Structure formats: structure tokens, C-alpha cells
Amino acid sequence: MPKHYLSAADLSRTEIEAILKRATQLKAHWHATRTTQPLLSGQTLALVFEKPSLRTRVAFEAGMNQLGGHASYLSANDIDMGGRESVPDVARNLSRWVQAIAARVFAHGTIEQLARHAAVPVINALSDREHPCQALADMLTIAERREQIAGTRLAFIGDGNNVCHSLMLVCALLACHMTVACPPDHQPHPDIVAHACSLAERHAASITVTSIPQEAVEGADAVYTDVWASMGQEHEAARRRVVFQPYQVNPALLSLAQPDALVMHCLPAHRGEEITADCLEGPQSVVFDQAENRLHVQKALILTLLDR
């Protein structure tokens, strides 16, 4: 059975730490030499994307190139999964041609179905439930700025969405203390909260959900936000701008965190909505480090799943 990465909780703490260590090594090699490594020579990664992407697509394509392999991009127009061809048939066909599949889908059930029928590793490159590759990149970014990840106090402000879900699970596994502040009707899924709290109990971590952003940010080592309306929710954007306005990351809110607190955002950002431009572009911001680190953690993840 191939090993998949559909949820941030699919890897153990030991596995995550090993991936972060290898990502650090891969990043150092790339910055020092700008040369490819033949670690995945002759290997192909299929990128099955129902949704458009900048960071996810380019990071996977560049990453495979840097490891000596190849990425084949397949958009919704190329495949029409569930329409022209069933998800199980797509999985079985791709398994005959490629060594791994990274899928960016609307419904989490689609990627679960791909994994059930694929004979190669399947990576969740984003679904409506989780964004686990982003969470790995976020942890690498924190590790680069702090002596250790364990004990980090992370505040997530805004929508309890897929990014929030994966962060909760990874923070629980890596002994962080995460507080999520969301409007009452936009809090993370109760099942994810319960799972994260269960993991937290075993790893000396803590997961807290509140509706008060100031409570979450008080004393935080990192303040994280994301767009208020995710892809596919554009029709709700106007309503959400009103509901989420008290959850904007701005200088007043950030002043409650540690003086050197990291400002984090998975991008794309809407300046003046979920975060002000001065916070996003300020000296505490690490948002473009997060974006770069998608490249390196995804390389390390692929190598791990392929036992390379």
C-alpha cells in the first residue's frame, strides 16, 4: 500500500521533524549551488488541479525539476474528473504512468477517492478540509526564526478554514500552543478540533478556540491570518467582509503579541481586508519565506513518500 499525505495528521511527529530537517538541507543545497540533484531522475509527479494555483503549482513543478524529475500538470479542462472520467479511473490510469499524484481539489472526498484507487502516493495539495503542505511550510518558517518549534504560541485569526485545520493538527503534533479566533459561525470543524485536542494531550501542546481575537494574540509568538473568503466562496465576500472586520490583523492587534512576533499569511493576501499592508509588508512579516518554503518541504515530502 502506498503512503499518502491527505491530512496533516497522516504523519507522526517524528516523520514531520525528519521532513523539516531534510527540507532545511535541500534548501541549503539549492541556495549554495543552484544545481539540481538526481534524486528523482526518471520520476514523474502528476499535478491534478481542479482549482488554479500559483504557489502550489510552481513549487511542485520547480521542486521536481530541482530533484531531477518531472511534473505533469493536468487542469480541470484536461481531465474533468467525475465528468468525462471517473475519479477511480483517473487514479488507476495515472498509477500506470507516474510515481506520485498531487491533487488540488474542491471536495476532500475527491482526494480520498483518488487515494483509495491509486497505486502510488497521493498528496493533498489543497482541499476544502485541509491544506497540509502549507502547514509543513509554516512549521519550517517558524523553525528558521526560533530556537525550536515546540512551545511556540501561534494565534490564527479569521476563518476556521482548511489552512486553520491543518495548522491545528501540525501544532498539536509538534507541541505548539495554538489559539484560533473566529466569528462564532466560522469556527473550525468540530471533528478537526477534537482530533487536534486529542493529539495535543499526547504531545504537551494545547489547542484553544475563541471568538475574541485579542485573547488569541495576547503574548503570541506568531500571528497568522488568511483570506476571509476562500476560492469558491466569492459570492459570500461582501457579507464576510462585514462579519470578519473585527478580525483584521492590524498594528493595534499585533501590538498585543510578542514584540518580535512573526506575521504569517499563506497568500494570496487582500491588503486592507484580513491584514493591513503595513503588517503584511513590515519587518515582522515572513509571508514570502513561507511561500519559498513550500518548495523545499514539498521536495522533502515527495522524497519521503517515495522512500528516497
CATH code, 78: 3.40.50.1370
Q: Is residue 119 included in any domain, yes or no?
A: yes
Q: Is residue 1 included in any domain, yes or no?
A: no
**Looking at the structure, do residues 140 and 254 belong to the same domain, yes or no?**
yes
Core vs surface per residue 107-136: b (16+ CB within 10 A) or e: ebebbbbbbebbebbbbbbbbbbbbbbbbb
**Looking at the structure, do residues 229 and 255 belong to the same domain, yes or no?**
yes
- pLDDT at residue 240, rounded to an integer: 85
Assigned C-alpha cell, 48:
491534478
- pLDDT at residue 10, rounded to an integer: 98
CA 241 – CA 113 distance, rounded (Å): 34
Q: Is residue 2 included in any domain, yes or no?
A: no
**Looking at the structure, do residues 75 and 157 belong to the same domain, yes or no?**
no
**Looking at the structure, do residues 217 and 113 belong to the same domain, yes or no?**
no
Sign, CA dihedral 13-18-19-20, equals positive
Give the structural domain span for 284: 134-290
Query: Based on the structure, what is the number of domains in the chain?
Result: 2
- pLDDT at residue 2, rounded to an integer: 80
- pLDDT at residue 231, rounded to an integer: 63
**Looking at the structure, do residues 52 and 124 belong to the same domain, yes or no?**
yes
**Looking at the structure, do residues 108 and 170 belong to the same domain, yes or no?**
no
Residue with cell 495528521: 9
Angle (CA) 48 109 232, round 5°: 70
- pLDDT at residue 239, rounded to an integer: 86
Which parts of the chain have pLDDT scores under 70?
A: 1, 231-233
**Looking at the structure, do residues 83 and 158 belong to the same domain, yes or no?**
no
Task: Catalogue the active-site residues.
Answer: 104, 131, 134, 226, 266, 294
Q: Is residue 41 included in any domain, yes or no?
A: yes
Core vs surface per residue 21-59: b (16+ CB within 10 A) or e: ebbbebbeebeeeeebeebbeebbbbbbbbbebebbbeb
Q: Is residue 3 included in any domain, yes or no?
A: no
Q: Do 182 and 247 contact (CB within 8 A), yes or no?
A: yes
CA 199 – CA 117 distance, rounded (Å): 28
**Looking at the structure, do residues 298 and 265 belong to the same domain, yes or no?**
no
- pLDDT at residue 235, rounded to an integer: 73
- pLDDT at residue 82, rounded to an integer: 79
Q: Do 231 and 195 contact (CB within 8 A), yes or no?
A: no
Residue with cell 504557489: 55
What does DSSP say about strands 122-124 and 100-104: parallel, antiparallel, or unpaired? Answer: parallel
**Looking at the structure, do residues 281 and 166 belong to the same domain, yes or no?**
yes
- pLDDT at residue 16, rounded to an integer: 99
Q: Is residue 95 included in any domain, yes or no?
A: yes
**Looking at the structure, do residues 63 and 153 belong to the same domain, yes or no?**
no
Q: Is residue 165 included in any domain, yes or no?
A: yes
**Looking at the structure, do residues 63 and 139 belong to the same domain, yes or no?**
no
CA 221 – CA 223 distance, rounded (Å): 7
> pTM of the full predicted structure?
0.97
User: 165, 154, 163: which is closest to 258 by C-alpha?
Assistant: 154
**Looking at the structure, do residues 183 and 86 belong to the same domain, yes or no?**
no
Q: Is residue 185 included in any domain, yes or no?
A: yes
Residue with cell 487514479: 91
- pLDDT at residue 232, rounded to an integer: 64
